[in-house]
Amino acid sequence: MSALAFTPTSTTRRVADDERARILADPGFGRYYTDFMARARWTEQDGWGAAELVPFGPVQLSPAAAVLHYGQEIFEGLKAFRHPDGSVWTFRPGANAERMQRSARRLALPELPVADFLASLQAVVAADEPWVPEATSEESLYLRPFMFASEEFLGVRASHCVDYYVIASPAGPYFPRGVQPLVVWITDEYARAGTGGTGAAKCGGNYASSLLGKREAAENGADEVLFLDSETHTSIDELSGMNVFALTRDGRLLTPALTGSILEGVTRSSILQLARDRGLAVAEERLVMSEVLEKLGTGEITEMFACGTAAVINPIGEFRARGGSWQVGDGGSGETTLALRQELTDIQYGRIPDRHGWLTRLV
Ligand code: COI
């Protein structure tokens, strides 16, 4: 049972019904926010407390708050899905709660108990239920729990005061072009994370370090950037916020092993399970970029895709780098890629049985 009760301080809606309906008709990704947010505070002296559900709005922070200077911050990403009977569910929240605890350990932040993490999601989605898009669509309510060092202190040490929030944002496709094959730029200049660093943690710093690579990708007409390992610049790590998979002609599904510099994606691990279920041989191993590009040329690798909570599963149609470009398969959306996407979203939206017990009811 949760120790924290996210008690509502107001029931007044921020956004009028007709405005919310207009937003839900085309939410995009990360553009709009719901009426409420949950928050709690941890202090070194008293532990977790001050849990409440408040209207969505600005966070008041000292300009000397440690997070603004040293980046002591972590976050999570989940979605709430409307099912055909109107109920609202989320996908593997325990896995996100536990990953947030691992991220917290790496960033010297306090661990939020799993039950409190779940209670915070439940409180926000119950209050923001009208914001969960209809069951007919591929849209969902994206949930963003996050935690940051809020102590007013400029010394370099773990903060003695930490704030936790959950905000929610109605979401359509992550990429503006929808589920279309991505052009991925392979950066030879930047790395996302290094050995012994924070690559496996879901912390803002990893995403900040990806931004210049992402800009380089856009300058080269690409949708996304792929980072290689920081030591040898030879093997695939991940994209700016997504894990990577490759399918071989003989039915093997490959993804980079979790070496410490790669995010332990919840979607990644779900795909490995669904692939095993459909008889694919799965392997988590070192994927050498030059070998992958060669195998794309010979047709030995037939499909590649990116995955994450926000992006779900998105085909990769082409790689670009300073040395040239490489088409994946016929450049379109691979059959197995789309089948895995369909199966995963069918489970999430309650259209087929949840045989792995991945769903948790929120409302
Ligand atoms: C997610 O997929 O939920 C993430 O946090 C990644 C980010 C690129 C949106």
Structure tokens at 150: 């809020």
Give the residue extent of every domain in the chain.
Answer: 7-171, 182-348
User: CA 225 to CA 319: how far, in whole Å?
Assistant: 9
Q: Which atom of ligand 1 is nearest to the CA of 142?
A: 3
User: Check: CATH 3.40.50.620 for 7-171?
Assistant: no
How far, in Å, is the centroid of ligand 1 from the Cα of 287? 22
Atom 3 of ligand 1, nearest CA residue: 77
Mutate to test the pocket of ligand 1, among 242, 263, 266 (most ligand atoms within 8 A of CB): 242
Do 7-171 and 182-348 have matching folds? no
Q: What percent of the chain has pLDDT over 70?
A: 100
Write out pLDDT tens, residues 94-151: 999 999 999 999 999 999 999 999 999 999 999 999 999 998 878 999 999 999 999 9
Q: Is 114 exposed, middle or buried (0-12, 13-18, 19+ CB in 10 A)?
A: middle
**What separation in angstroms does the CA of 47 have from each of 4, 27, 94, 105, 316?**
11, 37, 21, 15, 45
Whole-number pLDDT of residue 99: 98
Whole-number pLDDT of residue 68: 98
Q: Please list every protein residue whose CB sits less than 6 Å from any atom of ligand 1.
A: 77, 241, 308-310
Structure tokens at 342: 């369909």
Do the Cβ atoms of 307 and 265 come closer than 8 Å? yes
Claim: this prediction has a pTM higher than 0.95: yes
What element of type H or E holds 42? strand 36-43
User: CA 204 to CA 69: how far, in whole Å?
Assistant: 13
User: CA 342 to CA 20: how far, in whole Å?
Assistant: 28
Atom 5 of ligand 1, nearest CA residue: 77
Q: Which atom of ligand 1 is nearest to the CA of 77?
A: 3
Whole-number pLDDT of residue 138: 85
How far, in Å, is the centroid of ligand 1 from the Cα of 205? 14
Write out pLDDT tens, residues 321-345: 998 999 999 999 999 999 999 999 9
Class of 182-348 in CATH: alpha beta
User: CA 224 to CA 217: how far, in whole Å?
Assistant: 6
